[in-house]
Amino acid sequence: MSDEIETFGAQTPVTGQARMEAAWSSGDGDEIAEAQVAEQQTGQIFQQIYQTWEGELNPRWMRNWAILRHHVLGIFKKGHRPWGMPTKLFVFFVIIASMTDVALTVLAGLIGESTLYGMFGVNRDNLYGHVMGFWPRNILYYPVVAALLVGGMISDDRAHGTSALYFSRPISRFDYAAMKFLSIMIILFIIINGTLALYYFADILVMGRGWAWPLFLAAFACGLFLSFTYTSIGLALSSVSRGRFFPAIGLLAILMGTKTMAAIIDGLFDKSILYVISPYDSIAHVCQAIIGTEMTYDHPWAWSLASVVIFNGLALYLLANRVSSLEVTRE
């Protein structure tokens, strides 16, 4: 057999004898009835013993800061949360687009055009419109940014088991949810309230006056309400999903769908009460009352305030319930 194989060009005869002798006796098998172990050593077995950490842990604020900066700084620099390039570009575009009022105010002050300044300068209506203006801010800018941010904030942890990395350390579920919440809200805060502050202080520098600061504080509070509500609804949707698509589309559908439905009913029956089901319109109505601008809704603003409280309460309850059920392994 071996001679035949050698004639066909094989350098080493393949008889199977070496493999069989490594596992069994080379005899007939009757005189030795137990297997022989191969002499080649193929691996080692190590004894693994879990030992608890006895060193000093970082304080609670430092662990929370690590989570916060991981998400927030990922928008601006590498080495943190890997936000996609489309998200970074859109956030940059929204920041620039939100400062168009600043540019027009500065231009009006430099050329001394009173008509242009009356249109784009700081006043009660413009401060309200800078935050709550439906076109283009609350149809193209802020909801889309919120949708891009919340898309995989918690759903990625649920789908890929990243929660195991968080909860294997001394991080409570409250801190986990709070830092995720603050991460989204801080980014929205920079976009909405940051550009609002630039708009107001540009008027001070150009016109040399710092009037209407109570109106600025009222508009600033409206920006906080808007950021908080969009974040709470978006994270609640992200906590019940395992993908990025559903939370993003769900947030846009809730904000735009309820707005459209309420507008249709108002146009047909001249009743604005259905606007209480729209998170945007409820916040807009409350902010009109806070800033003191002209009301565009017929129903009492207290109903809209109650609607905002209910929206946020339900969203935070759902978020807390889902985060408390997160496992430390991949689901």
- Distance in angstroms (rounded) separating the CA atoms of residues 182 and 195: 19
In the numeric block, the tokens 């520098």 are attached to 205
> pTM of the prediction?
0.82
According to the model, what pLDDT value does residue 90 have? 97
What pLDDT, on a 0 to 100 scale, did the predictor assign at position 13?
53
How far apart (Å, rounded) are the C-alpha atoms in residues 233 and 143?
Answer: 11
316-330, pLDDT tens digit by residue? Answer: 999 999 999 886 654
Contact 312, 229 (CB under 8 A): yes
Residue ranges of the chain with per-residue pLDDT less than 50: 1-10, 16-26, 29-30, 32-33, 37, 330-331
Within the chain, where are the H helices? 2-7, 17-23, 60-72, 85-98, 100-111, 114-120, 124-132, 142-150, 155-160, 163-167, 173-189, 195-207, 213-239, 245-269, 279-291, 301-324
pLDDT tens per residue, range 177-200: 999 999 999 999 999 999 999 999
Q: DSSP characters for 75-122? A: GTSSSS----HHHHHHHHHHHHHHTHHHHHHHHHHHHT-HHHHHHHSS
